[in-house]
Amino acid sequence: MSTIYITEPDASFKLQNKYLKVFQQEKQRFFIRISNISQFAIFGNIKLPKDVIQIVRLNQIPVIYFTHTGEYLGRLENPSTVQAKYLNYQRQRLHDREFNRATAESIVWAKLHNQQTFLQNWTRYCTDYTTQRALDYLTLLMDNLSLAPCVEELHQYIEEADKVYYCAVASILSLYSLNPHTTAKQINRFLTLGNQLLHQYIYNHLKTAGLHPDYGILHRDTHHELPLAWDFSAEFRAPIVDDLVLTFVRNLAKNNGNGNGNGNGNGKKSYTHLQHFLQHWEGKLKTFVLHPYAGEVSYRQCIDLQVKEYIASLLGDVEYYRPLALKFHPEQTNFINMLETQKPVLTLVK
């Protein structure tokens, strides 16, 4: 299953039998079987033609909309009327306070652990007061998680952790954004976009696995759309999104702040940055890491494994939910080997 990213306003589409063809400047860029499309991601004021919208609705393919600079606007979707496979189990567990408390603690512990691993990875050769304070405080919070009597209080641990963690992230980012082209606003946009792409990817995976995304453990309030997807995102945000953005910003600094390293001044720099970021995003999902139980797998497979682990705990097949906790390997330079920057294109990323 593949995501189609559309970033150019002159893109056009043509349906032929069971295939979708995508053109740019009247040249065919690619074609794909409709049944292999997992979602569309549209950036900017780009309208899908009526026949494509009809196919999207019939095949229940979600379409997510962003501004041309990557701010999330909303989602178009025709949800299935078939009940999610595990919905009854989710409803039963909704009132199981012990299950919810234990699962929430596992997720929060993994979130804090992976945040700490991220900071250790990026400060292996040098650190400062801000990052060291964050590392120490994250350790303290992880040690005290068992003292939180309920899910609501675990939220306070998350808030406290995020305060010191993102101060440390900002401190690290300042080392790699010394040129005027990379501003704090741009970096925040990439972080927000990465989090939204992660959330949407996990949401699609939950649907495929037979889980209803509205039955969350940690994120139950009305401020979070599809809360179960945000629950899973908590474990993956530091190793996937934060690590990706920091690596991407570092590469921008090396390339003098423009997307292709040549500063052509054609007024499309935002698009170029965005296209490169989307390429790196797909590359990140394909990256192999050492899973604590499954060995060397890609991040895509990690997400699949964690969803299966949650289903097993939901059904009572395992005693408790085992979260994803990545290890710090001092001999490695970072979580991943980032893909080499390629020429940005309007592309199908498999």
pLDDT tens track for 44-74: 988 889 999 999 999 999 999 999 989 999 9
- In CATH terms, are 2-76 and 87-343 the same topology? no
CB 5 within 8 A of CB 278: yes
- Mean pLDDT to the nearest integer, 209-215: 94
**Considering all CA atoms of the chain, what is the largest pairwise distance in Å, rounded to the nearest integer?**
62
Model confidence pTM above 0.85: yes
Identify the pLDDT of residue 73: 94
Cβ 48 vs Cβ 42: under 8 Å: yes
Confidence of residue 125 (pLDDT cuts 50, 70, 90): confident
Residue 262 has pLDDT above 50, yes or no: no
User: What is the number of other CB atoms lying within 10 angstroms of the CB of residue 128?
Assistant: 13
DSSP 28: E
Least confident residue range of 26-40, 113-127, 333-347: 333-347
User: Which residues make up each annotated binding site?
Assistant: 219
- Which is higher by pLDDT, 168 or 77? 168
Strand order of the β-sheet with 348-349 is 72-76, 63-66, 37-43, 2-6, 348-349
Q: Which amino acid is at 237?
A: R
Average pLDDT of the chain to the nearest whole number: 85
Domain spans, the chain: 2-76, 87-343
Q: What percent of the chain has pLDDT over 90?
A: 59
Closest CA to 140 of 149, 152, 132, 151: 132
Indicate the annotated binding residues for Mn(2+): 219
Domain 87-343 superfamily per CATH: CRISPR-associated endonuclease Cas1, C-terminal domain (1.20.120.920)
Looking at domain 2-76, its CATH class is alpha beta
